[in-house]
Structure 1
Amino acid sequence: MGAALVAAMADPDRTFDAIVIGEYERAFYGNQFSLMASLFEHYGVQLWMPEADGRIDFEADGHEQLMIGLGIQSKREITRTRIRVRTAMATQAREQGRYLGGRPPYGYRLVDAGPHPNRAHAAWGRRAHRLEPDPETAPIVKWIFAQRLAGHSVARIARALNDAEIPCPSAADPERNAHRSGREWTHTTVRSILANPRYTGRQVWNRQPTEHDLIDPANTGLGHRQVQRWNLPDGWVISHRPAHPALVSETDFVAAQNIRARRGHADPDRCYRLAGLLRCGICGRRMESCWANSRAAYRCRHGYTSASKVDPERPKNLYIREDRILVHLPALYILLAKPDPVNTPPTAEDIIGHLRAEEITLTYDPETRSLGTGSREGVRITIDRTR
């Protein structure tokens, strides 16, 4: 509303020449008046407030001091109100398990829970809501947890859902997910379901709190914008008692989280010395480490993930063993660094350290079976063919 009013002030055909503010708390926050006063003067729009007994004189020091004081008081009241509201919402979620709004999680739907517990809101006709399992999507959530507990990966679960042509959450509820594509299940979608504690039947609040960031740090006069970021689990507010029917037991939910944590640990016996240094000569992506036939190797799937079907036009996966690359590193080092022949030849670890220090990446071309380099300046040197 405020932005629309400022835009209307710039219209030469506007139908008003003054603005009357009845409550100062709804007008200026902090130092906003000092930033807006010149705008009112520029467009010739008067400002009237009861605290000034009429029109504000933009050039009078007394009126300027009054508006600065009212802005500080307004900021104080808004801050106090925000603290009270957040404290009340945390208490309602923790002690009462009350549903506090937002989109229901996939697998649930909203149902009427009677008149609003606040008498004033109830008098206005507002109703309370609660979560209830959705007969169409709740079995999918149970199946996802069962598959995870059986040891299946997130990618395999997503692929099975896509192969069965089960609508993803944004496709199952397009009205509430208009900002999403709704095309298919992804790793992120399955992972977020497995990590949502609300499926245990307990109400959870403050998982994604609203914060305020500067619109432009170089121009603080533009103010702040609201952004939402995921909160850490220690900042969540969880109800003491179950608030709605559970789709998974708390024991199974904790077990599913432990599966993810256990798989996150790397095998200490597997070492990938060229990790992050190889690129695919077909698509340009960084190649990922893999363990093939008890040896370190690297592969590129050209953007394909096991959560989706294979594109028939996609090139075949690229594989290269680490030992076949290491034998060519000395020749590569001679071309790049031109070391003194009198000195001791560098080891493979020395060459790899040099590549990382100079931010040089290696490119493997499967068509010519050649290995090349690319530095920050885009230089590429083709060396001996790999066998």
Structure 2
Amino acid sequence: MAEFFDVGHSRSIPWARRPEAAALLAALADPDRGFDAIVIGSSERAFYGQQFANMAPLFAHYGAAVWLPELGGEVDPSLTAHDELMVLLGILSKREVARARIRARTSMTVQARNQGRYLGGRPPYGYRLVDAGPHPNNADARRGVRLRKLDVDPTTGPVVTWIFAQRLAGHSKARITRALNDAGIPSPTAADPERNMHRANTRWTLTAVRAILANPRYTGRQVWNRQRTDHVLVDPDNTTLGHRDVMRWNDRDEWVISDRPAHPALVSEADFVRAQGIRATARTPGRTYLLAGMLACGPCGRRMESCWSNGKPSYRCRHGFSSATTPDPARPKNAYVREELVLRHLPALHVRLGGSRSTVTPEAALAYLQTRAIRLIYNPTNRTVTADTEGKERVYLG
């Protein structure tokens, strides 16, 4: 007898992606496995939706009977009653998950909005967790469960206030990031490494500053449901592999915000709203970049970024440097190339790639490259553009 029991894995995940269930499937393929039947302890935890219907041919192939408590014995898929029972149990299992999800989301919405309760997760940079008394549920309180709430961290809290003050003074996010790094202030990762083991960067980044300035929890109100988990197919061509979880941001109207302040504020609500409306530079509408995403830098391999230079579309590569970091004297010079210069030579590259030798416009050559997803590599040293193909066809920009 062998036992296979998955802990911490959703029943909605197919057997092949559950560690213990996958081990059972591997054992089934072994001719010397030592057992000839599988006894299911709880069908609701074993099969979800149509999983049994997908697994039944495999069980039959390896000659392994499936025993179920609801039947008091072996499942026979050839019997209509047994087949219908397994379909019903799969639906009930799916229904149980849906009901549990709805109940949990409803209770968390009420707790966050009406009570301002802290619902778990890493505390935002600038805050720390402190004790908030016994749990209101008597059963949890008897087990010693305590509530937690956010309080200002004396070390990192003033940094958040300073970031908002600098932004309200009109400074760009890049300048704020650079100032934090120049001052040697620990980044969120470095300030709390135990909760950020999945992150290795110990310097401030533009993304970190942007996230702080956009987080409404610094106004003192509890905020929940800023992100959601979407279930997308692992492989659209093989739906039996199930879904994988993908984190995505919700729209602002879906956020759950507490009706009253739940913890000390690091910025007033009025200043927070003002900070959201600040733009360091005005964006000019109507700018288009025909080669966006197609050009790569030859020396470093990075994708060249679009930029507007002398009133015309261009592309540049700063070799990993950004305005949020301090320049490195050893860094190579930025690479620039005008879009019109590359477009002018695309017809010649089109011919070398095997296209028509008749008159070809730059627009037609560009469409040819985009249709075939051909990337172009720009080398600023010899001013050449090379197609990232097997033949490495090249043109000189002059």
TM-score interval for Structure 1 and Structure 2 normalised by the shorter chain: 0.7 to 0.9
Are residues 1:382 and 2:396 paired? yes
Q: Is the 8 A contact 1:290 1:299 kept in 2?
A: no
Are residues 1:108 and 2:122 paired? no
The residue number in structure 2 matching 1:81 is: 100
Give me the whole-angstrom Cα distance separating, in 2, the residues matched to 1:243 and 1:207: 17
Of 118, 135, 138, the match for 1:119: 138
Are residues 1:206 and 2:221 paired? no
The residue number in structure 2 matching 1:346 is: none
Q: Which moved more, 1:246-255 or 1:29-38?
A: 29-38
Amino acid at match of 1:207: R
Q: TM-score if structure 1 supplies the norm length? A: 0.79
Of 195, 215, 219, the match for 2:214: 195
The residue number in structure 1 matching 2:12 is: none
Q: Cα RMSD over matched residues?
A: 3.6
The residue number in structure 1 matching 2:304 is: 286
Give me the whole-angstrom Cα distance separating, in 1, the residues matched to 2:247 and 2:41: 32
Amino acid at match of 1:179: H
Aligned to 2:266, the other structure's residue is in SS state coil
| CA displacement at 1:351 relative to structure 2 | 7.1
Of 164, 167, 191, the match for 1:148: 167
CA deviations over 1:27-78 (Å, ceiling 9, x no partner): 3211122223344455665544332134434554322221211111221222
Q: Is the 8 A contact 1:10 1:43 kept in 2?
A: no
CA deviations over 1:144-199 (Å, ceiling 9, x no partner): 11111111111111111111222211121111111111321111111111111111
Q: Is the 8 A contact 1:108 1:137 kept in 2?
A: yes
| CA displacement at 1:326 relative to structure 2 | 6.0
Are residues 1:93 and 2:107 paired? no
Give me the whole-angstrom Cα distance separating, in 1, the residues matched to 2:289 and 2:250: 35
Of 233, 237, 240, the match for 1:218: 237
Which of these two proteins has the greater Rg computed from alpha carbons?
A: 1
Give me the whole-angstrom Cα distance separating, in 2, the residues matched to 1:50 and 1:88: 33
Are residues 1:314 and 2:325 paired? no
Aligned to 1:101, the other structure's residue is in SS state coil
| CA displacement at 1:8 relative to structure 2 | 4.1
Identity score, percent: 56
Q: Which moved more, 1:90-99 or 1:54-63?
A: 54-63
The residue number in structure 1 matching 2:20 is: 5
The residue number in structure 2 matching 1:342 is: none
Give me the whole-angstrom Cα distance separating, in 2, the residues matched to 1:306 and 1:133: 30
Q: How does 1:32-51 map onto structure 2 within 5 Å?
A: 32-41=51-60, 47-51=66-70
Give me the whole-angstrom Cα distance separating, in 2, the residues matched to 1:329 and 1:130: 58
The residue number in structure 2 matching 1:266 is: 283
Aligned length: 364
Change (3 A) 1:382 1:227: closer
The residue number in structure 2 matching 1:159 is: 178
Q: TM-score if structure 2 supplies the norm length? A: 0.77
Give me the whole-angstrom Cα distance separating, in 1, the residues matched to 2:263 and 2:186: 24
Q: Which moved more, 1:45-54 or 1:231-240?
A: 45-54
Aligned to 1:181, the other structure's residue is in SS state coil
| CA displacement at 1:207 relative to structure 2 | 0.9
| CA displacement at 1:271 relative to structure 2 | 6.3
The residue number in structure 1 matching 2:258 is: 239
The residue number in structure 2 matching 1:178 is: 197
Q: Any gaps of 5 or more consecutive residues in structure 1?
A: 339-349
| CA displacement at 1:302 relative to structure 2 | 2.0
| CA displacement at 1:308 relative to structure 2 | 2.3
Change (3 A) 1:120 1:212: farther
Q: Is the 8 A contact 1:204 1:236 kept in 2?
A: yes
Give me the whole-angstrom Cα distance separating, in 1, the residues matched to 2:378 and 2:323: 23
Q: Is the 8 A contact 1:106 1:169 kept in 2?
A: yes
The residue number in structure 1 matching 2:9 is: none
Q: Any gaps of 5 or more consecutive residues in structure 2?
A: 7-17, 352-359
| CA displacement at 1:298 relative to structure 2 | 5.8
The residue number in structure 2 matching 1:251 is: 270
Are residues 1:300 and 2:314 paired? no
Change (3 A) 1:296 1:53: closer
Aligned to 2:151, the other structure's residue is in SS state strand
Give me the whole-angstrom Cα distance separating, in 2, the residues matched to 1:280 and 1:8: 49
Change (3 A) 1:318 1:186: same
